[in-house]
Structure 1
Amino acid sequence: TPFQEEKIPELLRKHARLELQMRNDIYSTYHLYPPPELSEIKTTVVYPATEKHLRKYLRQEVHLVRETWEDYRNITLPFIQSQSFSLQWVYNILEKKAEADRIIHENPDPRDGFVLVPDFKWNQSQLDDLYLIALVHRRDVKSLRDLTGEHLPLLRNILREGQEAVAERFGVPGSRLRVYLHYQPSYYHLHVHFTALGYEAAGSAAERAHLLADVLDNLALDSRYYQRRALTCALRADEPLLAKFREAGRL
């Protein structure tokens, strides 16, 4: 996990072992062996892991696909509908069967409400890698492609209330947050990512992240914006969806 500034002096002198590797004028390099209390590794365990979980964490080539609305309707949507993506862990949070004590904020409205929880990747011990997820209560919206002007109240609630909750709980203002949706998402239940602006979180690059503020503006201009435009997405070489695009001659 990230080192905190106030811990650096302790890291360099308290029971830490330094081995000099090279010195040249004012420059030196060392191997540092920090004490156990300052060498925490954040670990997430997935057990039992499916083949999909294993593929997610293997290094793979990545390909950019330009998905039109017709591609979504003819390739992506049938693929999603044919898969058995488990969302039970999402429903457990929404129904307070798990992680109820981790909820940072909830708007209970079944149509325009959501739950804000820390992402597994963040241990809440420092703000450098702040990472939270907003999970919507409604279960009929899979991804960015489903969003229309009808969903503007929901999305506005997430942006406004989510930023207010993070500012109140963690002291981080909205101007220091990156609030975005993934496309393609890693799971097909609409969710929004809240990360520290200075944190280069996986999936925050231009080919996958869509800023929520921009999504709101686009839907305000055109209620069916995300059913009209092509979307670029990055797909790993071993993803079955990429194979579907190849079979259709779209790659």
Structure 2
Amino acid sequence: MAASTHHADMLRNFRFERVLNEDAITSSLVLLGSIPTASHTNGTEQRAPAIARIERGALPPALSSGDLVAALRDTQLVLSNDIYASLHGWLAPSEDRPDVKIGVIFPATDVHIRKYSAQRYYMVRETPALYERIVKPYIAAFPPARTQWVVDILEGRAEADKVLHSDPAYVLLPDIKWDLATIASLYLVAIAKDGSIRSLRDLRKHHLGMLRSIRRESARVARQRWGLGRGALRMYVHYQPSYYHFHVHVVNVEHTAPTGMSVGQAHLLDDIISLLESDVDDGPSVFERMTLTYALGEQHGLFEPLRAAQEAEED
């Protein structure tokens, strides 16, 4: 069965349970449901949790005004006031212009469900001591199965045809969130091959060669494949990251929609390189010594222990 047919069947069998989140800014909706598994016992359907993230597809930048008018199937006036007018429009079906982009996580774990649920965020200050006592054991407790999909990419068993650049230290490929067509929302990811680098905290001065190569080769690939010149890319590392295997996000600087570019969570690759370049040659690295301040959602597994630890310190 073709992969596209398989995933279409998955969506057709998606049984809605509840809305996890909705975002008017990105025009996205995250749904929790279930999808049948491959196994059946005594005719009873077995289902597993699934998450579907649905967002509006981007209009092609080459769509001229004439093409847009031709693409409209219908319009409805909402408001007209002097020189201003607002209309609703419906586009005719098109293979080149999908209406929505759908991301599916199946089977979804409780960690996935918490991550994509609407939640309040709070600022936390993670000292080196709190990292050693709370965060590091939390990261170490994650089972290898959680990042098996990363290993499959690195070992060539998945997405091998998508790899844009392969290096002894990392691979560069499109991020699953990119539609592979809209250059303004270009989104790549560089994944380190060294699994011992779990997060920003594990970076050392001897990793500078890898980080500089990611910066250089990402710019080269973007220039050669998509004509993006110097300064057209925003490269950053998340802390806390969405998965604990070191990776660098490479995004078109014009792409303002991605969540995770907020102050505290996103650390610019240029700044990381600069800090490591000025770091000491011996002793703990700068990222071992720093206190990191960032927003943490109340659904995150670290939220309760970090909040309790910080409240205890304040008392």
Could you say which TM-score interval applies, normalised by the shorter chain? over 0.9
For residues 82 and 248 of structure 2, what CA distance do their matches in structure 1 show?
Answer: 49
Q: Find the counterpart in structure 2 of residue 226 from structure 1.
A: 287
Q: Which has the larger radius of gyration?
A: 2
Q: Which runs of 5+ in 1 are unaligned?
A: none
Q: Describe the shift of the 1:210–1:90 C-alpha distance in structure 2 as closer, same or farther (beyond 3 A).
A: same
The reply to whether residue 117 of structure 1 matches residue 173 of structure 2 is yes
- SS for the counterpart of 1:72 is helix
Q: Find the counterpart in structure 1 of residue 205 from structure 2.
A: 149
Amino acid at match of 2:191: L
Q: Find the counterpart in structure 2 of residue 40 from structure 1.
A: 99
For residues 195 and 142 of structure 2, what CA distance do their matches in structure 1 show?
Answer: 17
- SS for the counterpart of 2:104 is coil
The reply to whether residue 75 of structure 1 matches residue 134 of structure 2 is yes
1:116·1:162 contact (CA, 8 Å) conserved in 2?
Answer: yes
Q: Deviations over 1:192-223 (max 9, x none)?
A: 00001111221111121111111011011114
The reply to whether residue 243 of structure 1 matches residue 304 of structure 2 is yes
For residues 217 and 93 of structure 2, what CA distance do their matches in structure 1 show?
Answer: 38
Q: Find the counterpart in structure 2 of residue 63 from structure 1.
A: 122
> Shift in Å at residue 191 of structure 1?
0.3
The reply to whether residue 17 of structure 1 matches residue 77 of structure 2 is no
Q: Deviations over 1:41-81 (max 9, x none)?
A: 11111111111111121110011111111111111001112
> Shift in Å at residue 21 of structure 1?
1.7
For residues 311 and 243 of structure 2, what CA distance do their matches in structure 1 show?
Answer: 23
Q: Deviations over 1:164-217 (max 9, x none)?
A: 122111211240100010011111111000001111221111121111111011
- SS for the counterpart of 2:105 is coil
**RMSD of aligned C-alpha atoms?**
1.5
> Shift in Å at residue 152 of structure 1?
0.8
Greater strand share, structure number: 2
- SS for the counterpart of 1:29 is strand
Given the alignment, which residue of 131, 136, 149 partners 2:192? Answer: 136
Amino acid at match of 1:14: A
For residues 79 and 216 of structure 2, what CA distance do their matches in structure 1 show?
Answer: 51
For residues 8 and 57 of structure 1, what CA distance do their matches in structure 2 show?
Answer: 36
Q: Which runs of 5+ in 2 are unaligned?
A: 1-56
Q: Find the counterpart in structure 2 of residue 96 from structure 1.
A: 156
Given the alignment, which residue of 246, 251, 266 partners 1:190? Answer: 246
> Shift in Å at residue 13 of structure 1?
3.0
For residues 8 and 75 of structure 1, what CA distance do their matches in structure 2 show?
Answer: 54
Q: Find the counterpart in structure 1 of residue 5 from structure 2.
A: none
For residues 207 and 172 of structure 1, what CA distance do their matches in structure 2 show?
Answer: 27
- SS for the counterpart of 1:249 is helix
Q: Find the counterpart in structure 2 of residue 208 from structure 1.
A: 265
> Shift in Å at residue 20 of structure 1?
1.2
Percentage of identical aligned residues: 37
1:2·1:128 contact (CA, 8 Å) conserved in 2?
Answer: no
> Shift in Å at residue 5 of structure 1?
3.5
More relative contact order in 1 or in 2 (CA 8 Å, sep 6+)?
A: 1
Q: Deviations over 1:20-53 (max 9, x none)?
A: 1222222111110111214521111111111111
For residues 79 and 234 of structure 2, what CA distance do their matches in structure 1 show?
Answer: 40
Q: Find the counterpart in structure 2 of residue 50 from structure 1.
A: 109
